[in-house]
Structure 1
Amino acid sequence: MTRLKWGMIGGGEGSQIGPAHRISASLDGHFQLTAAALDIDPERGKSYAVQLGVAEDRAYGNWQEMLAGERDRPDRLDLVTIATPNATHFEISRAFLEAGFHVLCEKPLTMTADEAEQIVAITSETGRICAVNYGYSGYPLVRQMRAMVAEGELGRIRLIKAEFAHGFHADAEEADNPRIRWRYDPEQAGTSAVFADAGIHAFHMACFVAGQTPTELSADFASMVGDRQLEDDAMINIRLSDGALCRLWTSAIAVGRMHGLTLQVFGEKGGLSWQQQHPEQLHWTPLNGRTQILERGDAALSPQAVRASRIPIGHAEGMPVAFANIYHDLAEVLRAKKLGSAADPLALDYPTALDGLWSMRAIEAAAKSAKSGGAWVGM
């Protein structure tokens, strides 16, 4: 199997997200890191790219150099991952999509819904892929939940309870730490802090599992530490297209919560419960029945979950493998495009620019609702 040529922008040495992408992209042998612009410091970025095995002539000082250097190569890149600061995502994604590259962008896709609409339009016009790394949707048992809902095992979905709450920004003495402060600065973070940063993963997962789109929401934002301009805690109610109601709590001040991404789905015929910190098990309770534990890796799970499992049952997988499922999906779709054939339908669950657009609409609607005392805002 010939590996696909992969480029990366951002995610340099010391980055939090960079190693996760590199591990994930290489896990199945689908991608080879071929070109990179990894750091805001050009020389440091080029040096680190070479250390990672990138040829010197494809180790770039910035994304503009990378675009110019890669645009007309006969051995051009198959996929470009963008893992730069949030405010740069739109400009870089647009430039590479318009130049004919397929893109995987870290979330948020853009800083505004208008920008996200432009990206969706470009993908429609060019036929290029723009995926968004809502990587938690790659967990096998999250895909199991989606499959069970789609097959009608829960009946009509009535209620979803979604959480992404941690306590890493609860220390008032750390409020001015530059690595934390920027998240609550509207000029750098936009209209929302913790909902846009963490809660949006829970929002995407709720819509992904339910197979529904949001119609309106009501939000309450709170800033509890120091003089933060943006929220560090939020409670959001979301009405979905087929009648389900989602209750979403997200927080950065929940002391004792380490990660806190959880999802519970309640339907007419039963309920499901999953936690990212215990991703190997899914609790399933049929109506009037006993709670069962579904184990990741069990061959009796849905084809979606079986396809997403890499390690035998009883051995823990984790976040990089969930991210790897996004890359695995993209590899199958990109190869199908090259061959002019149809991709495996099971490979089509990766988050797209449209998911990024819905997320930006949700962020803007939540900020508007919070400023209006929790008024319901349409999406």
Structure 2
Amino acid sequence: MTKLKWGMIGGGEGSQIGPAHRLGAGLDGAFEFVAAALDHRPEEGRAYGQRLGLAADRAYGDWQEMLEGERNRDDRVDLVTVATPNATHFEITKRFLEAGFHVLCEKPMTMTVEEGEEIVNIAKAQGKICAVNYGYSGYSLVRHMKAMVARGDLGKIRLVKAEFAHGHHADAADADNPRVRWRYDPAQAGVSAQFADCGIHALHMASFVIGQELERLSADTVSCIDSRVLEDDAMVNMRFDGGTVGRLWTSSVAIGRQHGLTLQVFGETGGLRWSQEQPNQLYWMPLGERLQVIERGEGNLSPEADRTSRVTVGHAEGMPLAFANIYSDLAEAIRADKVGRSMDPAADLYPRAEDGLRSMAAVFAVAESGATDGAWVDARPPMFR
């Protein structure tokens, strides 16, 4: 099968997220890396792109040059990944969608709800995929959780509890560290720090697994380090449209926590627990029975889990493989679109622009609620109310 052509904006040398995308996109052989604008410094970006194997004429100096260079090529890229600083996501994604490209955008998709609604509308009008990289939803056992909930193994879902708490910004002496400082600066980060950075991952995973959308929330947000304007810890109470109660804690000052993304789901007839730091095990407690451990890669799991498990049982699964599952979903969607067929339902799980929009609406709702002593606020984007 002919490989799809893939391009990347951002994610240059020394980037935290760039290598994970390049590993993920290339893992299954579905995409060929053919074009990029990797750095805000044009010459460094061009040179790095060529060291990664790009042809000189497709190692671009900036995203505008890449857009002009790719738009009229017969062999232009099928998918563009946007992995630039947050404030640039909207403009780049918008311009590439308008030019007829499929886009995978890093989170947050936009900086405002209005921008998010515009992206959703543009993607629909153009008939193009706009995906958002909530990459943790690519883990095999997260998808198995979703399948178990959907087929009724837990009965009606009563409660979901999500956490994304780490301690890597707990040192007040790091206040002037540029890699940390920008995250808590409203001029660069917007209205929220920790919730916009990590909390929306936990929120998306909760919504993804239970198959319900957030309706309203009440938030307690604090800056545990006094010099910070934006929050470094938040506790959020949530209500979903299917009646499920949600609890979400996110923090950057939880010393002793490393990554800290966990999800627990409690229904009428059972409960599930999963942690991103131990992704090979899913803990399942049926009502009135013994605790069971479901292992990634074992037999008789759901089609969604089987499709996204590449290595044999007992071997570690990591973040680049979860990213690879998002890219695998997108490859299936793009190929199905090219020939006008339906895509494999087990692959139809990639996060959409609508998910990015809902996340941004939640960010603003958390900021509003936190500023008003936890008042309950509507967390839905206006276009979905």
Question: Which residue number in structure 2 is paired with residue 122 of structure 1?
Answer: 122
Q: Aligned partners of 2:341 and 2:301: how far apart in 1?
A: 28
1:59 matched to 2:88? The reply is no
- AA partner of residue 215 (structure 2): T
| SS class of match (1:278) | coil
| SS class of match (1:61) | coil
- AA partner of residue 194 (structure 2): V
Q: CA deviation at 1:263?
A: 0.2
| SS class of match (1:239) | strand
Q: Aligned partners of 1:149 and 1:352: how far apart in 2?
A: 20
Q: CA deviation at 1:227?
A: 1.2
- AA partner of residue 75 (structure 1): D
Question: Which residue number in structure 2 is paired with residue 216 of structure 1?
Answer: 216
Gaps of 5+ in 1: none
Alpha carbons 1:270, 1:287 under 8 Å: kept: yes
Tell me the percent identity.
66
Q: CA deviation at 1:119?
A: 0.3
Q: CA deviation at 1:26?
A: 0.3
Task: Please identify runs of 4+ aligned residues in structure 1 that moved more than 2 A.
Answer: none
Question: Which residue number in structure 2 is paired with residue 101 of structure 1?
Answer: 101
| SS class of match (1:110) | coil
Q: Aligned partners of 2:84 and 2:186: how far apart in 1?
A: 18
1:181 matched to 2:181? The reply is yes
Question: Which residue number in structure 2 is paired with residue 112 of structure 1?
Answer: 112
Question: Which residue number in structure 2 is paired with residue 347 of structure 1?
Answer: 347
Q: CA deviation at 1:300?
A: 1.0
Q: CA deviation at 1:340?
A: 1.4
Alpha carbons 1:107, 1:356 under 8 Å: kept: yes
Equivalent positions of 1:125-144 (< 5 A) are 125-144=125-144
Equivalent positions of 1:249-328 (< 5 A) are 249-328=249-328
Q: Aligned partners of 1:191 and 1:153: how far apart in 2?
A: 39
Question: Which residue number in structure 1 is paired with residue 368 of structure 2?
Answer: 368
Question: Which residue number in structure 2 is paired with residue 239 of structure 1?
Answer: 239
Q: Aligned partners of 1:92 and 1:189: how far apart in 2?
A: 18
Q: Aligned partners of 1:299 and 1:3: how far apart in 2?
A: 30
Question: Which residue number in structure 2 is paired with residue 334 of structure 1?
Answer: 334
- AA partner of residue 203 (structure 1): L
| SS class of match (1:158) | strand
Q: What do the CA deviations read for 1:335-372 (whole angstroms, capped 9, x no partner)?
A: 11111111111111000000000100100011000011
Alpha carbons 1:175, 1:226 under 8 Å: kept: no
Q: Aligned partners of 1:88 and 1:170: how far apart in 2?
A: 28
Q: What do the CA deviations read for 1:317-352 (whole angstroms, capped 9, x no partner)?
A: 110000000000000110111111111111110000
Question: Which residue number in structure 1 is paired with residue 47 of structure 2?
Answer: 47
Q: What do the CA deviations read for 1:35-88 (whole angstroms, capped 9, x no partner)?
A: 100001100000000111110001110000000111111111100000000000
| SS class of match (1:142) | helix
Alpha carbons 1:134, 1:351 under 8 Å: kept: yes
Q: What TM-score do the two structures reach when normalised by structure 2?
A: 0.98
Q: Aligned partners of 1:340 and 1:151: how far apart in 2?
A: 29
How many residues are aligned here? 379
Q: Aligned partners of 2:186 and 2:299: how far apart in 1?
A: 47
- AA partner of residue 208 (structure 1): F
Q: CA deviation at 1:223?
A: 0.2
The RMSD of aligned alpha carbons is 0.6
Q: Aligned partners of 1:4 and 1:46: how far apart in 2?
A: 22
- AA partner of residue 51 (structure 1): R
Q: Aligned partners of 1:362 and 1:306: how far apart in 2?
A: 32
| SS class of match (2:5) | strand
- AA partner of residue 157 (structure 1): I
Q: Aligned partners of 1:168 and 1:226: how far apart in 2?
A: 16
Q: Aligned partners of 2:31 and 2:217: how far apart in 1?
A: 39
| SS class of match (2:164) | strand
Q: Aligned partners of 2:298 and 2:151: how far apart in 1?
A: 18
Gaps of 5+ in 2: 381-385
Q: What do the CA deviations read for 1:83-105 (whole angstroms, capped 9, x no partner)?
A: 00000000000000000000000
- AA partner of residue 105 (structure 1): C
Q: What do the CA deviations read for 1:193-225 (whole angstroms, capped 9, x no partner)?
A: 000001110000000000000110000100011
1:22 matched to 2:40? The reply is no
Q: Aligned partners of 1:226 and 1:48: how far apart in 2?
A: 40
| SS class of match (2:316) | coil
Q: Aligned partners of 2:226 and 2:175: how far apart in 1?
A: 7
Q: Aligned partners of 1:172 and 1:185: how far apart in 2?
A: 15
Question: Which residue number in structure 1 is paired with residue 383 of structure 2?
Answer: none
Q: CA deviation at 1:288?
A: 1.1
Q: CA deviation at 1:226?
A: 3.2
Q: Aligned partners of 1:36 and 1:77: how far apart in 2?
A: 10
Question: Which residue number in structure 2 is paired with residue 77 of structure 1?
Answer: 77
Question: Which residue number in structure 2 is paired with residue 226 of structure 1?
Answer: 226
Q: Aligned partners of 1:208 and 1:317: how far apart in 2?
A: 20
